[in-house]
């Protein structure tokens, strides 16, 4: 199939960007979206032009690097799918495709479709951890965890930190990301100890990094390639209220 692409090109963080038109020729339905871009880039290199810069790593849907908004939807229109797992069979010959980077103040563009997502790392550094004593490896099952809790924690832990929730949110909020981390750790006994402090500092760090506030649009849930649910945001809100009743982040 042959496609028309409008791709965001921006030479550097401070440069002004613009959408540029490209032709993707002889694309097969079996290619992934990134492989389609590889074909376009090979053609660009052959003709002596700068290839389109885009992030990718595992190409199997688990690393969360491929940050592209395709036709107005982060990771494209397929549910629970990252860009690398989005296949060209979902497009038709002659289609026009808009490809843009994640847009948020906290995700500055580095080049073309690559954004700097280290603000998410700093949110993790603020409280997304469990303090443990060093020493011997604890016995397996020394701390018993109910199956339902383990399942809930695993559901939240599916978050790969790709930032699609932020890209989709009309407010540029990272609340679904923070909620997944808060819920994941607060559901388990090891994470319960620091739960009150964690929810306070992580949500504070989110604002400091320039993310917006959640206003319950639920675009994040619709965009999440891992199916993280907004029930975790309700959980985060409950954790926050609980923390305030206990005395805030100083508990």
Partner 1 sequence: MDIVKNSVGRKLVMAVSGFGMIAFVVAHLLGNTTLYSGPDGINAYALALHSCSALLWSFRLLLAVLFALHVFFGIRLTLENRAAKPQAYARTDYRAATFAGRNMIWTGVLIGVFLLYHLLQFTLQVTDPEISALRHPDALGRPDVFTMVVLSFRKAAVAAVYVCAMAALGLHLAHSIQSSLQTAGLNGEKTLPVITKGGIIAAILIALGFVTFPLAVYAGLLR
Q: Does 52 bind partner 1 (CB under 8 A)?
A: no
Q: How far is the CB of 34 from partner 1 (least distance, A)?
A: 20
C-beta of 190: minimal distance to partner 1 in Å? 23
Among 121, 215, 227, 246, binds partner 1 (CB under 8 A): 215
Nearest approach, Cβ of residue 122 and partner 1 (Å)? 15
Show Cβ contacts of residue 122 under 8 Å, excluding neighbours closer than 6 positions.
205, 209
Write the DSSP symbol of residue 31. Answer: S
Binding of residue 192 to partner 1 (CB under 8 A): no
Can you tell me the distance from the alpha carbon of 155 to that of 153, in angstroms, rounded to the nearest whole number? Answer: 5
- Phi-psi domain of 224 (left: phi exceeds 0; alpha: psi -120 through 50; beta: other): beta
**Lookup: tokens for 81:** 């799918």
The alpha carbon dihedral of 71, 76, 168, 18 has a sign of: negative
Give yes or no for residue 158 binding partner 1 (CB under 8 A).
Answer: no
With tokens 């303090």, the residue in question is 131
Under rule CB under 8 A, residue 45 binds partner 1: no
Is 69 a binding residue for partner 1 by CB under 8 A? The answer is yes
Q: Does 251 bind partner 1 (CB under 8 A)?
A: no
Token pair 């020729």 is found at: 25
Q: Measured between alpha carbons, how far is 90 from 132 in angstroms, rounded to an integer?
A: 46
Does residue 240 bind partner 1 (CB under 8 A)?
Answer: yes
Residues that bind partner 1 (CB under 8 A): 6, 8, 19, 69, 71-73, 77, 98, 100, 103-106, 169-173, 175, 199-200, 203-204, 206-207, 210-219, 221-223, 229-231, 233-238, 240-241, 244, 248
């Amino acid at each position: 199939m042959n496609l028309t692409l409008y791709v965001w090109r921006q030479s550097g963080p401070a440069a002004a960007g613009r959408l540029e038109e490209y032709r993707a020729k002889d694309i097969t339905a079996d290619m992934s979206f990134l492989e389609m871009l590889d074909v376009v880039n090979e053609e660009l290199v052959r003709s002596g032009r700068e290839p389109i810069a885009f992030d990718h790593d595992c190409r199997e849907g688990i690393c969360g690097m491929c940050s592209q908004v395709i036709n107005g939807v982060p990771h494209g229109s397929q549910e629970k799918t990252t860009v690398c797992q989005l296949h060209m069979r979902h497009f038709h010959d002659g289609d026009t495709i808009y490809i843009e980077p994640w847009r948020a103040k906290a995700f500055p563009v580095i080049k073309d479709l690559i954004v700097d997502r280290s603000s998410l790392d700093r949110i993790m550094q603020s409280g997304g951890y469990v303090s443990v004593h060093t020493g011997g490896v604890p016995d397996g099952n020394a701390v018993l965890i109910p199956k339902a809790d383990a399942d809930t924690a695993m559901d939240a832990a599916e978050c790969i930190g790709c930032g699609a929730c932020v890209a989709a949110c009309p407010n540029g909020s990272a609340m679904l990301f923070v909620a997944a981390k808060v819920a994941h750790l607060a559901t388990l006994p090891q994470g319960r100890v620091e739960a009150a402090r964690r929810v306070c500092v992580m949500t504070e760090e989110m604002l400091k990094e320039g993310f917006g506030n959640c206003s319950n649009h639920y675009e994040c849930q619709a965009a999440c390639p891992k199916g993280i649910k907004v029930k975790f945001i309700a959980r985060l809100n409950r954790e926050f209220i609980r923390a305030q009743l206990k005395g805030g982040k100083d508990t």
